[in-house]
Amino acid sequence: MRIGELARQTGTTARALRHYEQAGLISSTRADNGYRVYDEGAVVRVSNIRHFLDAGLTLDDVAVFAACLDGNVPAAPPSARGLEIARERLAVLDARIAAQTEARDRLAAALASAAEGRPVGVARRAAGSSTDDGTPRVSG
């Protein structure tokens, strides 16, 4: 099947499919006209990739599960490595949420001060604790 049909069947976009292919998670052959052609198994594979992404994992995280992407991932029991990756991703998300909550609280306090006619003294974040957009610095 061509990329448009695979996108329709999996509820994703052709752009996402090309991204998955570039990441090595799916593969295609080329027709004589240069179009990508996917086999029927790509539907299951893409659905499983979407399952992991929807759960909050990244494409790099999903790559660890490449050998499992042709099976029934949602029904399979999680592996020890899978649980470890999920816990690591959850910690990153929790840190980002905490940083965003702090930024929101500072902004809300500044707006409250402004509404009361007080000087807007937005507290500065601790040096090195987050990036310019407020997300926490995460190593690893």
**Beta-carbon count within 10 A of 115 CB:** 9
> Could you state, in order of their start, the residue ranges of all structural domains in the chain?
3-76
Q: What tens digit of pLDDT does each residue of 23-63 get?
A: 999 999 999 999 999 999 999 999 999 999 999 999 999 99
CATH number for region 3-76: 1.10.1660.10
DSSP-based three-state secondary structure for 66: helix
87: which 2 tokens? 């816990």
Instruction: Name the stretches of the chain with pLDDT < 70.
Output: 121-140
40: which 2 tokens? 């029927």
Taking CA atoms, 113 is separated from 92, 108, 110, 118, in Å, by: 32, 9, 5, 5
pLDDT of residue 139: 46
Taking CA atoms, 106 is separated from 66, 112, 117, 126, in Å, by: 42, 10, 17, 13
pLDDT of residue 118: 80
**Which among 48, 49, 47 has a CA at the least distance from the CA of 20?**
49
pLDDT of residue 140: 42
pLDDT of residue 133: 53
